[in-house]
Structures are given as C-alpha cells and as structure tokens.
C-alpha cells in the first residue's frame, strides 16, 4: 500500500522517499537528494562520536568528540530541513515560470517572480554547501582521533558530505542566471566554488588519514 503524501521528507520511510525520488514528479529532485545524503553523513559523524565517547583510549580527544557528536546531531536535522526547503524553493520557481506572459504587465510580473524565486532557489542549496563544509571539517577532525573500529564510517561521512556539496552547488550555479543580478550571481558563484575547494581538500585529507590508520595528536587548544 503506498505511503500517504507527506509535507516533510523526514516523515517518509527510506523506501517511500526513494520511490518518490524515482517518480516522474519533479520534487523531490537533486537538491533534496543532496541534502538527504548530507544528513546521512552527519548521522555517521554523530555515530562515530558516540562510539568514541567515554572510552579511555580517546580521553585526550574527549572535548572534540563531544563537539563532533553535538555537531552531527544538529546538522542531521538541519539537512533534513534543507531538503524540504529545497523542494519548496523549486516549487516556487516552477510556478513562476508558468505565469502568463501575454501582456507587458504579465511579463513584468513574471520576470520579477522568477528573479525572486531563483534567488531563493540558489540561497537554499548554498546553505547546504555551507553546512557541508562543517560536516566534512568535523569528519576530518575525527579521523585518527576517534574509535578506530569506525574509521571507515568517518571516511563515508566525508564522502557523503563532499557529494552532497557538489550536488547542492550545481543547483546554486544553475539558478544564478535567472536571478537577474550579475553582482549577486558573481559573488555567490565565487563563494560556492571556494567552499567546494575547501570541502574537496578536507574530504581528501580525511580519506588519506583513514587509509594511513595512524593515531593523531589532540587538536590544539
């Protein structure tokens, strides 16, 4: 029996979400999928921290581990919110494109609606990319400083954050031309590419640390 339509993706089962994602409906789409992937990465960060807390072997990293668990728990909720926000933003933009344009007045109203909706449709995935930086940075900090039996989970968390950031960035960049503001588009484009560079570097460092399998010194401070 099909699961009833939900106003929030968080209320769906995994099977129901992927079924909806694979349908011919435009929502959810890539933006929501990216945010959900990031939520899974954040959940892994929280899990690894939870598997490391209270263990004498990692006592020197206790403060980091506590911060990582709190960040993971906070970010997993944030990414779920962003999945819903992304779907809503796309719906608003799609509606704007469908507005009538037979008269000058209608065309003016349509253009204004598209520009406003496109800005939101760029801002929401930008927030996802920004949050992914925190996710991947937290995973990198945990690598070599947390439960060694869950080291591959740290790498997966970083990979999910990296993939989610790339996906969300595509949604930022594709919507910028419709905003009608070259200054905003240029600044936003530069910012999102800068964030991606940082995320790519941290994700690569996380994988390398995990592959080496060596313990790391505590973070300074």
pLDDT digits (tens, 9 = 90+) for 153-190: 999 999 999 999 999 999 999 999 999 999 999 999 99
Q: How many CA atoms lie within 13 A of 182 on its CB side?
A: 0
How sure is the predictor about 1, in pLDDT bands with cuts at 50, 70 and 90? very low
Angstrom distances, CA of residue 211 to CA of 74, 183, 214, 216: 28, 42, 8, 13
Neighbours of 83 (CB within 10 A): 26
Segments making up each domain of the chain, as ranges: 26-212
CB 195 within 8 A of CB 135: no
Per the listing, tokens 């939900």 go with: 6
Asked whether the predicted pLDDT for residue 59 surpasses 90, the reply is yes
CA distance 48 to 148: 9
Asked whether the predicted pLDDT for residue 3 surpasses 50, the reply is no
Mean pLDDT across the chain: 95
Residue 26 is predicted with a pLDDT of 86
26-212 maps to CATH 1.20.120.680? yes
- Judged by DSSP in three states, 150 sits in helix
Asked if residue 28 has a cis previous peptide bond (ω within 30° of 0), the answer is yes
What residues contact residue 120 under an 8 Å CB cut-off, 6+ apart? 89, 92, 93
How sure is the predictor about 19, in pLDDT bands with cuts at 50, 70 and 90? very high
CA distance 50 to 20: 32
Q: What one-character DSSP code corresponds to residue 13?
A: -
- Judged by DSSP in three states, 10 sits in helix
Tokens in use for 19? 């079924």
């Amino acid at each position: 029996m099909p699961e009833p339509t939900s106003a929030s993706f968080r209320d769906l089962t995994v099977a129901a979400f992927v079924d909806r994602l694979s349908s011919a409906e435009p929502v959810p789409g890539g933006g929501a999928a990216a945010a959900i992937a990031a939520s899974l990465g954040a959940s892994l960060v929280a899990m690894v921290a939870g598997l490391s807390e209270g263990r004498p072997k990692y006592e020197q990293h206790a403060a980091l581990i506590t911060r990582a668990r709190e960040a993971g728990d906070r970010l997993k909720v944030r990414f779920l919110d962003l999945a819903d926000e992304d779907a809503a933003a796309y719906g608003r933009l799609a509606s704007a494109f469908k507005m009538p344009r037979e008269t000058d007045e209608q065309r003016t109203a349509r253009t204004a609606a598209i520009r406003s909706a496109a800005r939101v449709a760029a801002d929401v995935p930008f927030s996802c990319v920004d949050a992914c930086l925190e996710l991947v940075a937290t995973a990198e900090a945990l690598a070599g400083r947390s439960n060694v039996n869950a080291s591959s989970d740290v790498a997966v968390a970083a990979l999910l954050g990296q993939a989610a950031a790339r996906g969300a960035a595509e949604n930022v960049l594709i919507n910028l031309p419709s905003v009608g503001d070259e200054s905003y588009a240029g600044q936003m484009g530069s910012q999102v590419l800068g964030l991606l560079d940082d995320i790519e570097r941290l994700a690569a460092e996380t994988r390398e640390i995990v592959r080496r399998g060596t313990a790391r010194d505590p973070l300074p401070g």
